[in-house]
A and B are shown apart, each in its own frame.
Chain A
Amino acid sequence: MSRSAPKGLPWPRGGRGGLGEKAALPRGVRGDGSRREKEQGGSGGDSPPEEILRTSKLVKVYRADGVTVEAIRGVDIELSAGEFVAIMGPSGSGKSTLLHVLGGLEPATGGEIWFLGQRVDGLSTAGWAILRRRHVGFVFQFFNLLSNMTVADNVELPALLAGATPRQARKRREELLAELGIAGKAGAAPARLSGGEQQRVALARALANEPSLLLADEPTGNLDSSNTRDVLRLLRRAHAGGQAILMVTHDARVASLADRVINLFDGMVADDARMVPIPRRVNGVGDILELKG
């Protein structure tokens, strides 16, 4: 993996230099015969959906002052193109650690991580940075916007880092902010925005490079219910547009929109199940209100 920053890359998704040849294969051609059958709607076609991410026996151990904590203890998960997977589990179950390891923010201790058909767990910090820049969008609970830059600059930065021209970056930023209903805030400092608006900016930034994968860590954890509804709507729309999403959340409203829900417990996968719709009664809300007597 090259350690130098990429220069003049086609943008936004022209080529995937830096991740090897395999990553440049067109979507949908890479089948993994061993994969479970998916009855997912939307994947259409006869070829299996492209694999975005897969882990094998992933382990993460923290060692500090002679104390060893096994945060992740042998996790096998996979995620296909266009899939929305929610990770739930009690606090301390390893959810956030897993997300950070999958995004290369922390190194794995053992096991394998495959991203777009290429093994990436051995990447250097710089290698991970390049991978993230091109293929991964991150959304955090506390937005993590750059406070000394405008909203517009926050959203344009990832595109510029990935080699877009200023004009391309601006165009994409304008589209995203308009789509998220915050076009009027482009020149504002993040601190002047409400929590919900900041999270929308963070989402715009994460989607700026049309990432292969959106990683989200409790994206509604810090929002009130009306802002949560907005973020929910945006995530649904991104998902409907084919965005692959892996999200850690406590919020059942958000998790219920996923195609699959993984329950993490004690650093291991306790449940990994496709959401099965429950038929709604004819009366719609009729289930909710029950008059006594």
Chain B
Amino acid sequence: MRQPLLALLAKEPAHGYELKLALEQTFGQAYPSPNIGQIYVTLKRLEQDGLVRSEDVEQTTRPNKRVYELTAAGHEALRAWVGEPSDGPRIRDEFFIKLILAPMAGLADRMELMSSQRRHYLGIMRNLIELQAEIDPADTAARLLIEGAVLHLQADLDWLERCQEELV
């Protein structure tokens, strides 16, 4: 969560709860409602690393709030993050290791492993399709994320088919 927080702070200084709200608004329904505790922990670490600094702002009726802003080093780290290419998606390596190793140890049948994995993928796919029908079409971020997940899942299923062709 480091980089998203840095990116939001590059726009303007903010306190923890404002950052939580900003994340929710930006990613809409696609976002797992961020845990406020996690945000505070991350901010503390960013501060230890010198990427943000904070100051207490007095409030009359409530406890002080701590407002964070980006440091020069934070700006630099953010720019470097934006500039570097992101990793490609990884294949479902845990499943692949099971698929290769479990039959060797006599623990499972490959065809059965692939069948149950396919059923699981299709179950996830159905959830995605239902979600797609539920979200507000104007929520572009959510729509594109779901479409991305759908395409990745389709690729996983196609790959499963290839495994079936080669391994059985």
Contact = CB atoms under 8 A, between A and B. Distances in A.
Given A270-B111, A276-B119, A278-B124, A253 B154 contact: yes
A261 B135 contact: no
B154 A251 contact: yes
A285 B115 contact: no
A253 B115 contact: no
A252 B147 contact: no
A271 B1 CA distance: 41
Interface in A133-159: none
A278 B153 CA distance: 15
A257 B126 contact: yes
B30 A256 contact: no
Nearest to A272: B115
Contact of A285 (B145, B154, B164, B168): B145
B165 to A, nearest CB: 5
Contacts of A89: 161
Contact of A288 (B30, B120, B122): B30
Interface string A241-276: 000000000111101110001010100001101011
A287 interface: yes
Contact of A278 (B30, B34, B123): B123
A252 B154 contact: yes
A182 to B, nearest CB: 21
B129 A232 contact: yes
Nearest to A290: B32
A250 B165 CA distance: 15
Given A253-B150, A283-B33, A285-B30, A277 B123 contact: yes
A273 B27 contact: no
A273 B119 contact: yes
B3 interface: yes
Range of interface residues on A (Cβ < 8 Å): 35 or more
Range of interface residues on B (Cβ < 8 Å): 35 or more
- Of the listed residues B4, B31, B42, B121, the one surrounded by the most CB atoms of chain A closer than 10 A to its CB is B31
A288 B130 CA distance: 14
B149 interface: yes
Contacts of A271: 111, 115, 118-119
Contact of A291 (B4, B128, B154): B4
Contact of A252 (B121, B142, B164, B165): B121
A263 B30 CA distance: 32
A284 interface: yes
A256 B127 CA distance: 9
A288 B123 contact: no
Contact of B129 (A253, A261, A277, A293): A253
A10 interface: no
A263 B115 contact: yes
A284 B131 contact: yes
A283 B161 CA distance: 31
A286 interface: yes
B123 A263 contact: no
Interface in B101-125: 111, 115, 118-125
10 contacts: A225-B147, A252-B121, A252-B125, A256-B126, A261-B119, A273-B115, A278-B124, A289-B30, A290-B32, A293-B42
Given A90-B164, A271-B111, A286-B32, 11 more contacts: A250-B158, A252-B122, A255-B122, A256-B128, A270-B111, A276-B123, A280-B131, A284-B29, A285-B31, A287-B32, A293-B42
Interface of B: 1-4, 27, 29-34, 42, 111, 115, 118-135, 142, 145-150, 153-154, 157-158, 161-162, 164-165, 168
Interface of A: 88-90, 225, 229, 232-233, 250-253, 255-257, 261, 263, 265, 270-271, 273, 275-278, 280, 283-293
Give me the 4 closest cross-chain CB pairs, A-B, nearest first: A286-B32, A293-B2, A256-B125, A278-B123
